[in-house]
Structure 1
Amino acid sequence: MTLARRSLLAAPAILLALPARAQDAWPSRPIRMILPYAAGGATDVIGRLVADRLSQRLPQRVVMENRTGAGGAIGSSFVAKAPGDGHTLLFHNIGHAVTKAIYPQLDYDPAADLKAVSIVAESPMVLLVPPNSPHRTLADFVAFARANPEKLTYGSTGGGGALQLVSLLFLRAAGIKMTEIPYRGGAPAALDLAAGTLDMLYDAGLTAFGLARGGRARALAISGPSRSPVMPDVPTMAESGFPDATFMVWQAVLAPASTPDALVARIQAEVAAVLAEPTTRTRLAELGAERLVGNSPAEAQAFVAAEMAKWAVILREAGVRAG
């Protein structure tokens, strides 16, 4: 039985084991779930789905609120300084693990001032090349890049976003150097890739496979640990010879560090119950989430800490800092 499955099955038991006082006192008013990015992105859509399902379970509504800026630091800072009463939560993604490394002059400490409640979901990304690219396998692409340092280009949104992180991880694993081309979003980068003016782009599985099937890109590898049922002919990074380039975008619910452990456990139990719902699982799968987690606060906190340590090294080696 997988860790994610055990976590989801354990949720009702955790809920029943909590003291009655902790269960009865929360929530006493609407819950604000802060998302530190603009509306419309994958994390926003997944967060709103979770918030909506929580609203159906709880006696008070869960209202999603977008507070953008500084790579997610603005919204995260707001939650870090909020009272730890369970009425202000943060819905963040992998960007939470890199904020401190990229923005060293923060007015809060991502590791000390926020605690992970639960990891919600994980999704792979797909390495794409133009449809007219001469490279038909990842091995061919890497061989050319090694022989031509910095000649090839890749698209990135910078700021410690998923596009930048997965690209840096791949470059590190493959031992190659490419030229980063900044974009305001993945859509304009995809247009340049289709036109052949960009040599490589990672994209979320849901949209990447659409580009490949539509003939606007060629998929060379998927970053997840297993092949996707959507396009099972696309190999994983490990199968292509680069296991260290395995990468999953994750989302998590976090709370102010001052939130009592019993209350954090109650919130986690509700999140895990939502993720166990068949309708929620179906909808998240449609959004490209290949693994639903719902793990315990301790497991989530350990996972986030490991991610922070890993990305601090990678970003330092790449010389990535804000501005």
Structure 2
Amino acid sequence: MISRRTLLRSAALTGAALVGARIPFARASLSYPTHPVRWVVPYAAGGATDVLSRLLCQRLSERLEQPFVVENKPGAGSNIGTQAVIASPPDGYTLLLTSTANAINASFDPQLPFDFAKGIAPVAGVARIPLVLVVNNDLPVQNLKEFIAYARANPNRLSIASSGIGTSLHLSGELFKAMAGVQFTHVPYRGSAPGLTDVMSGQIQGMFDNVTSSFELVRAGKLRALGVTTRERSAILPDVPPIADVLAGYETSSFYGVGAPHDTSRDIVDLLNREINAALADATIDRRVAELGAVALHGDAAAFGTMLAGETERWRKVVELSGQRKE
């Protein structure tokens, strides 16, 4: 029979061996990153996506002592960049700036060549941005109720711009149409800037746009803001009421976050999550996020995954209600 002393000694040696076996794994995870990390932005350079990405990448480079390099990879409504990341090795060296487009495309594009939910591991949220309905100053409406009344009295005489078919800007307008019982003509543009220009000139009567790119025009009196798409008012446009005050239950927004290829090590995901949250908590970055009209998103990877699933379901319902799908 084995003595109690021998059994205890054996157990102690086994425990030590197991602890020793874990040490190389822990060191391996702590050594990440050992070379530059690609941060894929699936949009052209410029705008809020670039500003947020470069701010975070600069801070991550400083804290983790390896370059985090922004790589713009636009095309196909963010699908080209997204697919490139999904196809990358799950080693933490290729990251994706995820966005509302990923949540929308899951149901809007029936020919999508990948499954975003299965292909991307959620890492961390970055920011949420309200949208705002802006109109030309000569349009004879001063508030949302008057706009709805005018649209009902003039069906299909209003033209509403967006940054492209299938974007959150486009579908926010389609949801508005369905809930308000109005009809207007959707005019897609290649980005927000040309659409806003035509709204100011009067060629187009209105537009749903991210507050990031339109709030300065509203403050300068070049556009009239009628309502924001979030339940709460935007800190950057505090005098503009939520559309939900008139259309109960109406709510949309744009969001950004970070994802990695599926099967990326949990240690790496958790490390990146902690560092991104730390960067967002930095006073300089927090102030810049607020200046963009955005609200920083904090939380662990699981919380961001839950948010992504919720946003995908929300936009699925909007796509179904609007009847809009990619041909």
Q: How would you bin the TM-score normalised by the shorter chain?
A: 0.7 to 0.9
The aligned residue for residue 253 of structure 1 is: 258
Structure 1 position 82 matched with structure 2 position 88: yes
The answer (yes or no) to whether the contact 1:43–1:92 under 8 Å persists in 2 is: no
Give the counterpart letter for 2:322 in structure 1.
Answer: A
Deviation by residue 1:168-192 (Cα, 9 ceiling, x = unmatched)? 2322332322210121121121122
- Aligned-residue offset at 1:21: 3.3
Q: Output one character per residue of 1:74-124: Cα deviation in whole Å (capped at 9) or x when no partner.
A: 110111111111111101211110122233223321111112111111111
- How many residues align? The count is 303
1:268 pairs, out of 273, 277, 280, with 273
Match of 2:68 among 62, 69, 79: 62
Map 1:201-240 → 2, pairs under 5 A: 201-239=207-245
Point out where structure 2 has 5 or more consecutive residues left out of the alignment: 1-24
Specify the alignment match of 2:203 in structure 1. Answer: 197
Of residues 306, 309, 312 in structure 1, which corresponds to 2:310?
A: 306
> Is 1:112 the counterpart of 2:118 in the alignment?
yes
Deviation at 1:25, TM superposition (A): 3.3
| 1:319 lines up with 2:323 in the alignment | yes
Sort the Cα spacing of 1:312 and 1:284 in 2 relative to 1 into closer, same or farther, 3 A: same
**How far apart, in 2, do the equivalents of 1:122 and 1:288 lie?**
9
Match of 1:133 in 2: 139
In structure 2, give the amino acid aligned to 1:220: L
Identify the residue that residue 179 of structure 2 maps to in structure 1.
173
C-alpha distance after superposition, 1:52-81 (max 9, x if no partner): 111111121100101111111111011111
Q: Which amino acid is the alignment partner of residue 41 of structure 1?
A: G
Q: For the residues of structure 2 that align with 1:230 and 1:287, how far apart are their CA atoms?
A: 8
For 1:311, the aligned partner's letter is W
For residues 166 and 131 of structure 1, what CA distance do their matches in structure 2 show? 21
Unaligned runs of 5+ in 1: 1-18
What percent identity do the matched residue pairs reach? Answer: 39
Cα-Cα RMSD: 1.8
* Pairing partner for 2:78 from 63, 72, 80: 72
Q: Rg bigger for which structure?
A: 2
Aligned partner of 1:3 in structure 2 is none
One-letter amino acid of the structure 1 residue matched with residue 83 of structure 2? S
